[in-house]
Amino acid sequence: MHIVLVHGMGGSASSWSSVAPLLDVRGISYSIADNWSQSLAEDVATVERLIADASEPVLLVGHSYGGAVITGAGRHADVRGLVYVSAFGPAEGETINSIVESYPPATVSTFFDRGDDGAWIPQDGPAAREALAWDVPDEIWLREQHDKRVSSNEIFRTPAGVPAWASKPAWYMVATQDQHIVVEAQRDMAARMNATVVDVGTTHAIQHVQPQCVVDTIEQAIAMLS
């Protein structure tokens, strides 16, 4: 089974730099989406192309905003299951904004600036690091800040179509110290997916703080889907 890894808003392929070497060691084939976070439809299309190129059954893995991407791309016939890594899993007609606004504000809301075009620009100073990502290794934090991209506000306002999780098996990794997506929201999304839940005691970046746990969950999903 082929794995397609999908990063969150403003991220890049380097968002999976801690997971990819572990997949290599296990001999698991994978590809990494490199989306620009400007259009949900375009990001879904990019992942659909990776699915088609795999020419074998696929397991999608999405972090944060990447969960909304795999929720759409997962409708592809070759997708067997989905793994959400502290990620958004919208229902039909929902937007990321509507999910966020259904809960008390997460800490991350105080660490964003808005560009002239309404784009969300994350702050990267010491206060943001201490509040949001205290457990992320220094070298990874610095690289992520160097590689980050400015996301369009449109990706948060685009309604989801029919969700892949409504008809395909899902796994949900809950980051129990997450300051980006409130834990209650994660649990509610996992529950309506009827997902297999894995609790991880990290901040939002599970894939960098506990990459082995991500790979273990991927392997569990492969075993159940094979």
Q: Which helix (H) or strand (E) holds 143?
A: helix 138-147
Sign of the dihedral through C-alpha 216, 184, 99, 166: positive
Torsion of CA 100, 154, 35, 186, to 10 degrees: 10
Residue 180 backbone dihedrals phi, psi, to 5 degrees = -105, -50
The count of domains in the chain is 1
- Residue-wise pLDDT for 193-224, tens only, equals 999 999 999 999 999 999 999 999 999 999 99
Distance from C-alpha of 156 to C-alpha of 96, rounded to nearest angstrom: 5
> Measuring CA to CA, how many Å separate 54 from each of 21, 45, 46, 116?
19, 14, 13, 39
Q: pLDDT over 70 for what percent of the chain?
A: 94
Rg (CA), the chain: 16
**Alpha carbon 35 to chain centroid distance?**
12
- pLDDT of the residue at 150: 81
Residue numbers of the domain that contains 20:
2-225
Average pLDDT of the chain?
A: 93
pLDDT in tens, 25-43: 999 999 999 999 999 999 9
Between 22 and 142, where is the model more confident? Answer: 22
DSSP secondary structure of 71-99:
HHHTTSTTEEEEEEES---PPTT--HHHH
Residue 116 confidence (pLDDT): 59
Domain with residue 118: its CATH number is: 3.40.50.1820
Q: What is the pLDDT of residue 129?
A: 85
To the question of pTM greater than 0.85 for the whole model, the response is yes
Strand segments (E) across the chain: 2-6, 30-32, 58-63, 79-85, 112-114, 120-122, 170-175, 196-200
Which amino acid, 142?
Answer: L
Distances (CA, A) of 58 to 51, 70, 102, 122, 123: 7, 11, 32, 32, 35
**pLDDT at residue 113 in the model:** 66
Give residue-wise pLDDT tens across range 101-141.
Answer: 999 999 988 876 666 555 556 667 788 889 899 999 999 98
At residue 212, the pLDDT reads 98
Asked whether 187 and 161 are in contact (CB, 8 A), the reply is no
